[in-house]
Structure 1
Amino acid sequence: MASVEDIALTLIPRLGPKGIAHLLDLFCSAEKIFSATSDELARQGTLHPDIIEHIRRKTTFQAAEREIKYCRHHTITPVASTDENYPALLRETLDYPHVLYVMGNPEVLRKNHLTMVGTRRMTPYGQQIAEKLISDLETHSSETAIVSGLAFGIDTACHRAALAYGIPTIGVVASVLPEITPAQHTAIARDMIEHGGAIISELHSQTKQNGRYYLARNRILAGMSAGTVVVESPVNGGSLSTALMADSYNRTVMAVPGRLTDNMSFGCNALIRNRKAQMILSAEDIVRELMWDLSRPEEPTKPQSALSVELSRDEAELLACFHTGDPISVEELGNATGRSVQELSVLLFGLEMSGAIRQIPGNRYIRL
């Protein structure tokens, strides 16, 4: 649980998440930051004198103590980035929130996380796909928690599907706990907590609520998970900001394709077209993209060479070029085989469809 020092650090005026992360990188803990001398703090060269004064005088300690009492009263657990329950991947980002306020099970923050987001104007197709992916994901990975934003549409569909199939689910909100935004989702938030999940926010009780926290919330959605799936989105959907943040964190971004004429799929199709996201068609695709263990205890793992589709002679010859586990570019394949880019594109597509290879960023391919 976060200490008074942890919370006090987040309450210092003009000291944002990046500044806090920088100080923690130097001093390792909030306690050591508040124990540092003025000279030690000034030597960092990035702190405004007012911030140094707040740290040395511990001006935010009383407010931090009030925050702890508030959390106890509302059964909220403040989790600091130095705690074992803090999401490990989120801690790797440059602008992680030092304290997360958690309602529910803090230990669920230690699971494998998959963020699933999408449009508020969900179509029946989007709802069906969200439910299908999550139901199948339960079969492939038992240590997964579904993360979303508890918003209308795809977000809530993902939370409901996770509840239906016994998968813990985490809602990241842009409001002060214990209030839930939107209020209509208070009941599902309670169900998520009762079934081993959690609702989390970086906002303390003294935050002046306004609409500007949603973009900051999206960085948590993107940062705490190994991968982000955009289920359904228009071309300017808010979920695309989460996808782009995930890409900036070097996380795996995935998208579900839709019909070219469907406005609610424009955003997903654009992500795939612009190579900002890997196209996924199943939960198995997700597990493979994230390199999670596909094998199940009761089922022997299939040999890596087993293919569900028989290869043509040309495809088999091209596959033989992948004799190491290293990625190979199209240019390298052209040099090795003497084939044109057009010929290679057709053969590579066939190998991808058969499950023999996978494309990765940089127009390179690896053998599966």
Structure 2
Amino acid sequence: MIADEEEQLYSIALTMIHGVGHISAKRLVDGMGSAVDVFRHRKSLPDSLPEVSSRIIEALDDPQALTRAEQELLFIQKNRIRCLTLNDADYPFRLRECEDAPIVLFFKGNTDLNALRVINLVGTRHITGYGEQACASFLRDLKVLCPDVLVVSGLAYGVDIHAHRGALANGLSTVAVLAHGLDRIYPSVHRKTAVDMLTNGGLLTEFLTGTAPDRYNFVSRNRIVAGMCDATIVVESAAKGGSLITAELTEGYHRDCFAFPGRINDEYSAGCNRLLRDNKASLLLSAEEFVSAMGWNSVPPSKAAHVQRGFFPDLSEEEQKVVSILEKQGDLQINSLVVEADISVQRMSGILFELEMKGIIRVLVGGVYQLLP
């Protein structure tokens, strides 16, 4: 077995260990460097990770976890499904930065999960004509402004399926994050759309085959939807609903959240209006405003030519790298800088803080960073 396959096998097995949740699994892998080493050095785990209990060490001896993992690995290989571990370069880097990120993902499709710009559209399953129109017009206009954006949702009834279909209709890549394994499609009436997505997007899940779309899986799924994106857009939502959970997760991950407003008496705008009232989401009226707020505007040639800076002798190599990117591309949001510079979100935050303190950059509305003249 090659190294990648071995890491996939043990990553899958780790998800089967009783008493190991999302956060603890990621801490184990991060702490030991790989899932392979978590199992290989399980007896000495407390030496590197003192918080690991004896109960977890005993659970790691369970042979059934590896047996089940071997079965899953055979399934994904047979069906040409990509198995993405935390150490895989194709694993969504935005999601990897979240403390509760899944240690393994299964992906069927052809898109880049680390696209330069990634958004999700979520909302009620009882979408109204207003929501359908808002979703359709937003994606149509967004295609013109950001033709390379990746649209993420959950394949559910209502806003989700309209987001996927709207993306496909406009030639945008779209990914569905599922609350079950890749051995089924739920709801089954969305199968054709799911198949269409395989040629311009794909299907993504953390769940093994045989996993039913139980209610609590959708809540777990929402953290992936929020974590792998630059921004969450709530199209329509009642006073309670899964999209509001996604919005809360977005805030916790320090990502941007937007919401379309609605009339005060509309049941399926109550959640959006509350997000706006509580300053948990920014008002969204058009694709143009969204692109501007995210700092995704194209840089006019005149501006790009005007900014001519030399090397700053008092900057570190990483700081100079960030400055050079801003010189070349203009104003950018932190997640765009992370992609361009190939620097972690946490490290990038520190670099940007230092540059701001040195008077090199400033922060604009929407978390956009701009070089000072």
TM-score per shorter chain, which class? 0.7 to 0.9
Shift of 1:136: 1.1
Deviates more, 1:132-141 or 1:54-63: 54-63
Q: Is the 8 A contact 2:239 2:271 kept in 1?
A: yes
Matched residue, 2:50: 45
Q: Residue 127 in 1 paired to residue 132 in 2?
A: yes
SS at match of 1:212: helix
CA shift digits 1:42-83 (9 cap, x unpaired) = 652333323213435665222211111111233322211211
Note the C-alpha offset of 1:209: 5.2
Residues 54-69 of structure 1 aligned to structure 2 (within 5 Å): 54-55=59-60, 60-69=65-74
Matched ranges for 1:140-219 at <5 A: 140-194=145-199, 196-207=200-211, 210-219=214-223
How many Å separate the matches in 1 of 2:19 and 2:61? 15
Amino acid at match of 2:298: S
| Partner of residue 33, structure 2 | 28
Kindly report which structure 2 residues correspond to 1:1-368, keeping only aligned pairs within 5 A, or say none. 3-41=8-46, 44-55=49-60, 60-105=65-110, 107-111=111-115, 112-194=117-199, 196-207=200-211, 210-292=214-296, 294-295=297-298, 300=301
Task: Give distance in 2, aligned partners of 1:225 and 1:97.
Answer: 15
Q: CA deviation at 1:236?
A: 1.4
In structure 2, the CA distance between the partners of 1:358 and 1:5, relative to structure 1 (3 Å rule), is: closer
Structure 2 gap ranges (5+): 305-330, 332-362
> 2:210 & 2:168 partners in 1: Cα distance?
32
Alignment CA distance shift 1:301-1:63 (3 Å): farther
Amino acid at match of 2:50: G
Higher mean alpha-carbon deviation, 165-174 vs 1-10, is at: 1-10
| Stretch of structure 1 that moved more, 144-153 or 279-288 | 279-288
CA distance in 2 between counterparts of 1:172 and 1:40 reads 33
* 2:327 alignment counterpart: none
8 Å Cα contact 2:151-2:163 kept in structure 1? yes
Matched AA of 1:149 = G
Give the structure-2-normalised TM-score.
0.76
Partner of 1:317: none
Following the alignment from structure 2 to structure 1, what is the Cα–Cα distance between the partners of residues 42 and 241? 47
> Highest CA radius of gyration, 1 or 2?
1
Contact 1:108 1:168 in 2 (8 A): no
* Partners of 1:213 and 1:87 in 2: CA distance: 20
2:307 aligns with none
Q: Distance in 2 between matches of 1:257 and 1:75?
A: 42
Equivalence for 2:338: none
Deviations 1:203-231 (A, max 9, x none): 11254653221111111111110100001
Query: Using the alignment, how far apart are the partners of 1:57 and 1:261 within structure 2?
Result: 55
Whole-angstrom distance in 2 between the partners of 1:71 and 1:247 = 34
Q: Indicate conservation of the 8 Å contact 1:20/1:98, yes or no.
A: yes
Contact 1:234–1:265, Cα closer than 8 Å, also in 2: yes
Tell me, yes or no, if the aligned pair for 1:34 and 1:58 is still in contact at 8 Å: no
Partner deviation per Cα, 1:88-135 (whole Å, 9 max, x = no partner): 111111101111111212x42111210110111111111111011111
Q: Residues 289 and 81 of structure 1: is their aligned pair in 2 closer, same or farther, counting only changes over 3 Å?
A: farther
Q: Cα 1:130–1:209, aligned 2, differ >3 Å: closer, same or farther? A: closer
SS at match of 1:110: coil
Worse-matched range after superposition: 256-265 or 166-175 = 256-265
**Kept in 2: contact 1:89–1:225 (CA 8 A):** yes
Judged with a 3 Å threshold, the aligned counterparts in structure 2 of structure 1 residues 57 and 188 are, in CA distance, closer, same or farther, namely closer
TM-score (normalised: structure 1): 0.77
CA distance in structure 2 between the partners assigned to 1:359 and 1:234 by the alignment: 28
